Chains A and B, each alone.
Chain A
Amino acid sequence: MLDTRLYLLQRISALIMAPLVLLHLGVMIVAIQGGLDSAEILSRTQGSLFWGGAYGLFVIAVSIHAAIGIRVVMFEWLSIQGIRLNLVSWLIFTVLLMMGARAVYAVVAL
């Protein structure tokens, strides 16, 4: 159900997520100090390779991390196994990735 590769993928994705969460929270706290509306935020993020890369990487890491985590819960608590377990895990990964990619596009696209 959870082999070494999936185990490593979940740990590595967590290692990627942790500093990006801190970066996001830090910027949010600093950015709103002088008052900031959504138009001003978008003016800074739109067309930014840095923010596109950071949030894009975060979305990929979240999709991998959450899909593997939910895979374990589905196996242990709902007894979903075999091909069904793989299919549902891939589905969760794909849905999270698409939703996240759409959000990143909305923030970064010109």
Chain B
Amino acid sequence: MAKNTGLNNLQESTDFLEVGIWRGDSSGGRLVTYQVPQQPSQTILDVVTWIQREQDPGLSYRFACRVGMCGSCAMMVNRIPRWTCRTHVQKVVQDNHLTIEPLRNLPVIKDLACDMSEFFAKWKQAEGQFKPRKAREDPIEQLLPDTPKRAAANAAIECINCAICYAACDVVSWNPAYLGPAALNRAWSLLNDERDSGQQSRLRAVASDAGCHNCHSHQNCAAYCPNELNPTASIAGLKRMASMAVIRGKL
């Protein structure tokens, strides 16, 4: 690991964190160590921002809302994918040390910023777009919140597309064509949406060679989802739905 202290003789101080940040681009990179002063209620995003503002303006990373809504600041923290704006340093620091790397399973643009193109392309490939059954002039459809279909859709709907599940998924790392937990979870929420008209082609898309049947139910996605969604359960629902469609001759 290369050292970039910025501040001298502070390595022994417990008031400072030793932070290894992955620096590089698509051709490769390495961990560079920084000394960062500890603050109360400090988040991982605070640490990265402090390094960029105080020690290395060339550090690239991505964030927007800083309150856990936009899903843009996810990174690997001590080898675990996390939303950095809502992850407190005190909860994840190990022996005063942090390692912060770009998300797994996605190509790196520079430093901590990943190229999300393939992640969102798969979202489209799984037909994650809402396709309304009714036109603007039609009366508004009544949706009862306690029907089983609506409950299943609601359980999957709070995804912020942070790609943490995608980074946590071993199947994605083995099978780059696999649609991944986020896209399949989105498809499941739409397949249970009674207002949507694209069910048949969406089911065909998620039951394809790269689709839901490749999931091994490891449940890493559910374990690390910051919004506590369960994409594994959604994918299991897709498997059941596709299997029944094949048995009934509708797929």
Secondary structure of the A side of the interface? helix
From residue 62 to 83 of chain A, which have CB atoms closer than 8 A to chain B? 72, 75-77
Contact with A along B204-237 (1 / 0, CB 8 A): 0001111101100000000000000000000000
Q: Do the beta carbons of B175 and A7 come within 8 Å of each other?
A: no
CB 8 Å contact bits of B1-22 with A (1 = contact, 0 = none):
0000000000000000000000
Interface of B is mostly: helix
B64 is an interface residue with CB less than 8 A from chain A:
no
B156 interfacial by beta-carbon distance below 8 Å: no
Contact B174 A7 (CB under 8 A): no
Tell me, yes or no, whether B186 is within 8 Å of chain A by CB. Answer: no
Cβ–Cβ contact B209 & A76, under 8 A: no
A residues engaging B (CB < 8 A)?
Answer: 1-8, 11, 72, 75-77
Closest B residue to A1 by beta carbon equals B209
Give the A-binding residues of B (Cβ under 8 A).
171, 174-175, 177, 207-211, 213-214, 239, 242-243, 245-247, 251
Q: Is the CB of B207 within 8 A of A4?
A: yes
Separation in Å of the B9 CB from the closest CB of chain A?
48
| Cα-based distance from A6 to B245 in the complex (angstroms) | 14
- Chain A residues positioned under 8 Å from B239 (CB to CB): 7
Candidate in A4, A8, A75 with the most chain B CB atoms within 10 angstroms:
A4
Min CB–CB distance B168 → chain A (angstroms):
16
Which residue of chain A is the closest to B178 with respect to CB atoms? A1
**Of B174, B177, B208, B247, which is within 8 A of A3 by CB?**
B208
